[in-house]
A and B are shown apart, each in its own frame.
Chain A
Amino acid sequence: MADTMQFDLVSPEKSLASAQVTEVQIPGAEGDLTAMPNHAPLITTLRPGILKTAGPEGAIEYVVTGGFAEISAAGTSVLAERAVPVSEMTQELLDEFVSEAVASRDNATAEALDALAKQAADIAAIGAYMGLSPKGA
């Protein structure tokens, strides 16, 4: 069994990471999951959260705001709408994410409200995880 697998994290604007990793923890829409080498093929959407990778080069964490992950036996690729390494995450950026999410929640129609409210809450939770304080959520 292979010890590592290919991990790619790409956003529409650029490719953020491409490395060999041993595991990827993904904030899936229906719950967190960890993908390891030889995982069964799976495509899942993401909720806003923290994506964690562990590999020979150490553990790296990214903040993602949504998108989807494609997991296959050979590797995992995550297509995130916006992704920021945790080390580069700032209070301003978080505030921006939160205010965007809150704005779309407040403008939403009734049927979409639940999903967007959850999204806003998820983003606020990222702040809590990182010790930053989200405003106005």
Chain B
Amino acid sequence: MPSLKDLKNRIESVKSTRKITKAMQMVAAAKLRRAQEAAEAGRPYAERMNAVLGGLAASVGGSDSAPKLLSGSGADQVHLLVVMTAERGLCGGFNSTIVRLARSRAQDLLAMGKTVKILTVGKKGREQLKRDLENHFVGHVDLSEVKRLGYSNAHDIAMDVLSRFDGGEFDVATIFYNRFQSVISQIPTAQQIIPAAFEETTESSTIYDYEPSEEGILEDLLPRGVATQIFAALLENGASEQGARMSAMDNATRNAGEMIDKLTIEYNRSRQAVITNELIEIISGAEAL
């Protein structure tokens, strides 16, 4: 049976924990709004880019002159998995869900006899994958110093990936990230970026002139398309992270509140017990006289 003082101390410590989680929740809420705005603002560019690339890919795709980024290197042996996670923890299952998806994909590929290479973005995913897949790591992108995600971050990652592709280091690249659905639900997603896969646009009614040639434009745009996809994924991931942290901290705050209530009842009970005890002692002492 803990003493009254112990109980009081515990109540105090849970209270200060609740203050911290509450503050973190509010910070996450503010950051989430910013991240959502950023994701929203980036959407028109990505949509147009995909539409144009989709149209171009449909017209050039079949020919032999199609760029390698579109048609692939012809092999399916070496897979690059780009695993995007957060730099910080305390965001519920956010990092684990991405890692779980990436790990199961990696194990499937390994079971099929493929070679797997992993590029991690974000510290948390790296830490979690280290246990069983460390020898597949080929690189790491550290974004912990980045305050505000910009296109240049995505551009750098894309350049890294593209130079590896040009160097023949892999055949297929897939990015793993959490797609933002709502504050309580984020969907871990795997998206193939190389060779580029586009949704077929059915309403390609306009026939465009191209300057320079279709192939020339495609060659110029495909690397940008890769960067755009990575950027969109980073933004989605950013919003998801804050959403996940917000709901995790909301839960933590609520749990702390419940705990405080329970401890307070226990505290009051034991105080009452002490008083009752003392009364009994006094009364029985008086009766004994």
Contact = CB atoms under 8 A, between A and B. Distances in A.
Contacts of B221: 45, 68
B45 A11 contact: yes
B206 interface: yes
B151 interface: yes
B225 to A, nearest CB: 11
A79 B210 contact: no
A42 B42 contact: no
Contacts, number: 73
Contact of A14 (B41, B56, B206, B228): B41
Contacts of A42: 208-211
Interface string A86-109: 000000000000000000000000
The dominant DSSP class at the B interface is: helix
Contact of A12 (B208, B220, B228): B228
Nearest to B47: A10
A45 B49 CA distance: 12
Given A11-B151, A79-B45, A68 B212 contact: no
A10 B48 contact: yes
Contacts of A8: 44
Interface string B43-81: 011101100100010000000000000000000000000
Nearest to B210: A43
B42 A30 contact: no
Contact of A41 (B49, B150, B209, B227): B209
A42 B224 CA distance: 19
B231 A12 contact: yes
B207 interface: yes
A43 B208 CA distance: 6
A43 B48 contact: no
A28 interface: yes
B235 to A, nearest CB: 9
Nearest to A11: B45
B154 interface: yes
Contacts of A15: 41, 44-45
A19 interface: no
Given A12-B45, A43-B209, A45-B220, 16 more contacts: A8-B44, A10-B48, A11-B45, A11-B151, A12-B227, A12-B228, A13-B42, A13-B150, A13-B151, A41-B206, A43-B210, A44-B211, A45-B217, A70-B52, A70-B208, A82-B151
Interface of B: 38, 41-42, 44-46, 48-49, 52, 56, 150-151, 154, 206-212, 216-217, 220-221, 224, 227-228, 231
List of 7 A-B pairs having minimum Cβ-Cβ separation, nearest first: A14-B41, A44-B211, A12-B151, A41-B208, A42-B209, A10-B45, A43-B208
27 contacts: A10-B45, A10-B48, A12-B45, A12-B154, A12-B228, A12-B231, A13-B38, A13-B150, A13-B151, A15-B41, A30-B211, A30-B212, A40-B209, A41-B208, A42-B208, A42-B210, A42-B211, A43-B211, A43-B217, A44-B210, A44-B217, A67-B224, A68-B221, A72-B206, A79-B45, A79-B48, A79-B52
Interface of A: 8, 10-15, 28-30, 40-45, 67-68, 70, 72, 77, 79, 81-82
